[in-house]
Amino acid sequence: MECAASGLGTRCVGPPTRRCGNCGAVAYCSVSHQSSHWRYHKEECERLEEQMRSVDLINEFPFTFTEEATVQISQKEVSRCTFLTKRDLHHAGMWKYECKCVSSSTVSFSAYDRFRNEGWHLPTSSCPCLGPLSPVISQLCSWKDYYEWRKIPLASPVALLLHWPLTIYHAIQSIGIGNLTPRISNELRIHYLGPQKELGQLGVFAELQALFPGLSIRLQLVGPDVPQHMDGEIISLCGYTPCMEEDCDCKCSSEILKPSNKSAVSLQLYRGFYHDRYSDITKDSPPPHIVIAPNAGIAAYPSWLPTLELIKEMKVRAVFSDYCEEACHLAACCIRTITGEQPLSLPIGLNPFRQPMTVEESSLFIPCYSNCFIFAI
């Protein structure tokens, strides 16, 4: 964490050990920096103070590794790397993108090579390598619900990767799958904006076939981080991501990813900004039922403004997530410049399927998690 007043002109004199006495969410290197920053911080202080009251709730997970993945990481007692190393998952397949020592921007993604011989790197009992024993009867409302349904022990770390498809599930359940327009028949079309590390974890989206049984899922991932050589590529998820056991039934399918669009879950990748590629995406495909933008960072990137203009013109429901409630608040302020005073169709709320491992090096003392809060327009 750096001093909240860094970048205002004067150099910091040391580490930011002096926290705001009101909100406790930001810290400063000195009294002078705290004083000079007050004219900016006073606008947010009361709001951050309110958000800090939810710290215990945000950090609450049912897993046996919860304290290690939340408190101990935030206090730098352990790191993501050591967490994964302890479980023999460090640099293993899809898991390699979960720590800072591997940057997705330096990796050449190759879907077929990556998934031909790699999977969960976990035993059968600890991962969803096969279809569910029973369909979803009632709505899943928590990680505990999901783990009980999929018969996975709470010591399993699969939620660290499954938060991507489960956030899609929660977003659609939150706005009501029956409220999506045009009405869904047997196909659910999702435009998924800004994928980053997901590009190295595509196999986890196979879980959508279990979460939405009977529906053909068409997931079109659009963003500047999509590699040029994968632009336009269609990938079918055939079966589920395999476990590490050679005699498991999940090995009946030799490859999880195949170059076809005939499957329960089909992915198509587009490189570029959504507002630039939308006409290409919909040239041979109907409009989406829903737009989903994980960890959007709307307030941080000016490129969102033309995309928001497009979404407004499309009149399609759009769900966004971000790392903390404050980021969602700032995003909502940006959205109001496009939509006027029209309220959010889904107010900012905690995502029960947020990634259960805190983000290292957060700019606030408020806990930050991937896909932590969601809202919709």
pLDDT digits 0-9 by tens, 18-55: 999 999 999 999 999 999 999 999 999 999 999 999 99
pLDDT, average across residues 265-293: 95
How would residue 263 be classed by pLDDT, with cut points 50, 70 and 90? low
How would residue 1 be classed by pLDDT, with cut points 50, 70 and 90? confident
pLDDT value at 111 more than 70: no
For residue 292, the cross-strand partners are 192, 319
pLDDT value at 257 more than 80: no
Closest CA to 353 of 187, 99, 158: 158
pLDDT, average across residues 179-206: 88
How would residue 284 be classed by pLDDT, with cut points 50, 70 and 90? confident
Distance CA 38, CA 220 (A): 44
pLDDT value at 179 more than 80: no
| Token duo for residue 139 | 């709505």
Closest CA to 256 of 58, 114, 362: 114
For the whole model, what pTM was predicted? 0.92
Run of H or E residues at 271: strand 265-271
Which percentage of the chain shows pLDDT scores above 70? 92
- Percent composition of the chain: helix, strand, coil (DSSP 3-state, to 5): 35, 15, 50
**How many C-beta atoms lie closer than 10 Å to residue 165's C-beta?**
23
pLDDT value at position 305?
A: 96
Distance CA 195, CA 293 (A): 8
pLDDT, average across residues 163-175: 97
Angle between helices 325-339 and 45-52 (to 10 degrees): 130
pLDDT value at position 113?
A: 43
SS3 category, 292: strand
SS3 category, 171: helix
pLDDT value at position 108?
A: 54
Distance CA 98, CA 338 (A): 34
pLDDT value at position 100?
A: 81
- Report pLDDT digits (tens) over 120-158: 999 999 999 999 999 888 899 999 999 999 999 999 999
